[in-house]
Structure 1
């Protein structure tokens, strides 16, 4: 299977990967590895051990080359709007 994130031309776009991890011990390093190996601008890390699929709220960590930013737990619509705002800031850099 072709790795779509790795193969697309990322010139001129803000490339973001989404990663769901169930092991809090390895989640961050796994997201950092994805960021590097797939040449992304950011990875949206969802630790599903704390936030199972189907829940009304979620908490994610935005991983970039500059570091990690834990976004506050919120309903999914609010969280997606916060994520979009942060990604717009990254894209402007």
Structure 2
């Protein structure tokens, strides 16, 4: 997992899908949700993360992370639906194969 570092006042903009997580390792950051795509007014909602805070994207779109002080954070992508289905199928198949037979 790659850690991103920002100095005070720097910003990082990225596109993410719903369920993407931002986890703060150190410092203080503000996560901005750009609602211009949805309502056309450009109003921005900011969530402040301090300490070891984390935040999950409520929808897909453009987001911006702004450092209030020197900060380190990382971004985690959610698993795809296909991968989730494969993991679930593998778990059930493993249970079926390890079940004792009635011989």
The structure whose residues are more often helix, as a share, is: 1
Question: Hey, which of these two has a bigger chunk of strand by percent?
Answer: 2
TM range (shorter): 0.3 to 0.5
- TM-score, structure 2 normalization: 0.30
Where relative contact order (Cα < 8 A, 6+ residues apart) is larger, the structure is 2
TM-score, reference length from structure 1: 0.33
